[in-house]
Every structure is written in C-alpha cells, then in structure tokens.
C-alpha cells in the first residue's frame, strides 16, 4: 500500500442514508449497503450548498482526521469495525443536529460533494508526494468503484492519464480475482478466455400457462419496442457482476418520460431512481458528454440539451445518464438489436434495466420472467413469448 487517503471507514453513504432522506431510521445504528447506490440517485433532487459542505468538513476534522483526542482515538481503533461504524453514526448524528433546518436532499448532495472533493484532493496530495511512481494510470477496485460520480470526478480531475474500473469492482470481482491469482500461482501468467458475459447459460424451460411463443427476428422485436412496449431480453450467458449489460435486461424505448416511471413501477423502485441508456458506441458522443466508450456503465455522462426531450426516459433528474455503450460490430445480439432499432426510428439507444426479481439475481430462464409477469413480452434467443389475455389451460 502506498498510502491511506483518509481515515473514514467505508459504508459512509449507507450510514448517511440512515440519518437523512427517504431511508432514515431514527435511533437505529443498523445500516444497509444497498442504500448507498440508491442515495446516488436521490441526491439529484438536491443542491450542494457550501454552508452544508463546511459543516461536514468541520465535523470530519473533529471526528476523524484532526489531532484532537476524539479523532486520534478513532484512528487508533481502526481494526475494530463495530466501534468504527458506531463512530460514523456519531458523525452523522452530530451533522443531523447542526443541519436540522436543512432539507435532506441538499444535505446528502452536499455530503457527496464534500467526500468527492476530499477524495480528489487527497489523491492529488499523494501523487505529489510520490512523483517517483512514473505513469499515472489508476485502477479502482472495491465496492466504491460502483460510485459512477466518483469515477467521473477522478477521470475529469486530470490527475491520471487513464482511469480504469473493472466491470465488477465489488466482492464478485474480488472472488474472480482471487481465482485468477490462484491460477497464476499454479500455472504462471497465462492468457484467459474471458468475457463479461461469462455467467450462467439460460436454462431450458417450458412455456408457462397464459403465454404463447413464436419465432421473432431482431427487426420484428425492434418494431415492438418502437411501439412503446417494454421487452424482457434474455440471450446467451448472463453478465457477471451487478449490472445488466444486455444479456439479462428489460429493454424499452426511451422516447417517453412515462416509460421511466413505468419501469420503476414494475421493478418496485422509487420514482427518483434513474433508468440507464444502452447506446451504440459510435453514436454516444452525439448524445452525451463526454460520451466516451463505457461498456460497463461505470461513469457519469451528461445528456446534451438537444437530446433531452427526445430520450426523456434515460435522463436523470440532474441531466446525467449512466450510459452503457455497445459496439455496432459486436457479435452480441443486443448490438444487432440496437442497429435494427436505429434503422427503424433514427434513435441509437434504448432503456436498459436489469431483468430480475427485486433484490435477487437475474432471471435464469424465460419461464422465470413469465412467472414474474410484470412485462408482457419476453424475447429469449429468437423466441418471443407473449402474455395472452386468458390463461392457457390446455
């Protein structure tokens, strides 16, 4: 390890969510890691304000980084996880007392800005102190690599020549990395036949009652999507990691704001949660800034003003989008579908959200998607399953 950037333990966003905002739990010291990602959507409702940022900065000095007894004892007890979590709760409790007249949206947006500035500033200090490191390429690992706003801020900072985030920087990626290390120890450095689409194959399944099936080309499927009908899209092997990348996705036209609300409703998600765009890579810069290749949905992109009314379903409350880009030359079926959809509509992107039960993994087969039943079309490896008006009891 070169250096510790700052002493605050992870889970800060998750714990912040138990003190401010829609997931607040007064008096509770429990925490839920799943809240962290949701807060990254929620902060778009608020505005970062410097007076609130100053409060978090002062309390950070007092509780974690200063030379006072409270902060020093925190750093000395750095291996006692339960004690550290309790101290982070104390930090946010103190913040809640001082900020009780501020709205939660502004508080959480301001906390994010404080922590983002702290991260970039501390990295700049470390780089200055270790100029002998040579090439400045950054690889981000760990669950924080899923914080697309941090990733984008680090890339925009100019501190690094290149910023790389693997497609699954969280625990799933760590497990794969451990297996790769074991392979290297056993066989040396050998090449790996690897793809992000290396998850489980689709299981064979019978057509459930109440559904009918028929062959369906990608051109025909593009027509269904263009008619403003969402489709569960299942093809090949599942994605590894936490993001749906076109193998286990619900796809839909992005041309109606209603579609964003509809997808959040069928996924049982809060109204402020964004729906991501999946876009042909060579068209992305025309629609988004920076619009650079982003195959794993790990950076923030701003939707260009002239496109915001054309694709409102994928524009977040702050004008950004969690973009996934796909090469039009890819062999993956989702790429071919995007080409067909652009040919039909002139729009090179679709809404993309995960095809899964709420809080669980991807659908293992078409039957599972049908049994979920929230979307009336399921496309699975060239076969379109359509929900019928009456159950098939034959």
Contacts of 299 (CB under 8 A, 6+ apart): 148, 151, 152, 155, 165, 292, 323
Q: Which residues of the chain have pLDDT under 50?
A: 392-394
Cα dihedral sign, 170-176-180-186: positive
Judged by phi (left if over 0) then psi (alpha if -120 to 50, else beta), residue 52 lies in: alpha
DSSP H/E element including 296: none
pLDDT digits (tens, 9 = 90+) for 261-320: 999 999 999 999 999 999 999 999 999 999 999 999 999 999 999 999 999 999 999 999
Domain with CATH 3.90.870.20 in the chain: 211-387
DSSP H/E element including 172: helix 171-187
Annotation: CATH topology of 211-387: DHBP synthase (3.90.870)
Q: What is the per-residue pLDDT for 172?
A: 76
Q: What is the per-residue pLDDT for 345?
A: 98
Contacts of 43 (CB under 8 A, 6+ apart): 105, 108, 109, 112
pTM equals 0.91
* Closest listed residue to residue 30, CA positions, set 19, 22, 41, 20: 19
Q: What is the per-residue pLDDT for 134?
A: 73
């Amino acid at each position: 390890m070169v250096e510790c950037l700052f002493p605050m333990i992870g889970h800060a966003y998750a714990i912040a969510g138990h003190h401010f905002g829609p997931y607040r739990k007064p008096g509770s010291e429990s925490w839920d890691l799943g809240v962290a990602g949701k807060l990254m959507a929620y902060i778009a409702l608020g505005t970062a304000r410097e007076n609130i940022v100053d409060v978090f900065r002062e309390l950070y000095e007092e509780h974690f980084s200063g030379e006072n007894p409270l902060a020093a004892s925190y750093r000395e007890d750095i291996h006692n996880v339960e004690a550290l979590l309790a101290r982070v709760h104390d930090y946010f409790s103190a913040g809640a007392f001082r900020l009780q007249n501020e709205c939660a949206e502004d508080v959480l947006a301001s906390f994010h800005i404080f922590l983002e500035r702290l991260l970039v500033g501390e990295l700049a200090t470390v780089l200055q102190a270790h100029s002998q490191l040579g090439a400045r390429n950054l690889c981000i690992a760990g669950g924080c690599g899923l914080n697309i706003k941090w990733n984008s801020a680090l890339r925009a900072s100019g501190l690094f020549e290149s910023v790389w985030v693997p497609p699954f920087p969280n625990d799933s990626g760590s497990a794969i990395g451990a297996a790769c290390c074991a392979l290297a120890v056993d066989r040396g450095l050998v090449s790996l036949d690897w793809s992000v689409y290396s998850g489980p194959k689709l299981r064979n399944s019978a057509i459930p009652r109440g559904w009918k099936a028929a062959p369906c080309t990608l051109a025909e499927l593009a027509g269904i999507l263009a008619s403003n009908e969402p489709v569960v899209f299942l093809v090949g092997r599942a994605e590894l990691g936490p993001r749906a990348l076109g193998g286990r996705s619900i796809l839909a036209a992005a041309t109606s704001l209603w579609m964003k609300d509809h997808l959040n409703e069928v996924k049982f998600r809060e109204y402020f949660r964004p729906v991501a765009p999946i876009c042909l890579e060579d068209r992305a810069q025309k629609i988004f800034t920076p619009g650079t290749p982003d195959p794993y949905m790990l950076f923030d992109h701003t939707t260009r003003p002239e496109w915001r009314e054309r694709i409102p379903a994928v524009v977040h409350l702050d004008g950004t989008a969690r973009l996934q880009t796909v090469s039009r030359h890819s062999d993956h079926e989702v790429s071919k579908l995007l080409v067909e959809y652009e040919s039909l509509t002139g729009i090179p992107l679709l809404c993309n959200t995960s095809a899964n039960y709420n809080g669980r993994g991807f659908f293992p087969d078409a039957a599972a998607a049908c049994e979920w039943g929230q979307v009336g079309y399921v496309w699975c490896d060239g076969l379109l399953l359509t929900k019928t008006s009456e159950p098939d009891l034959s």
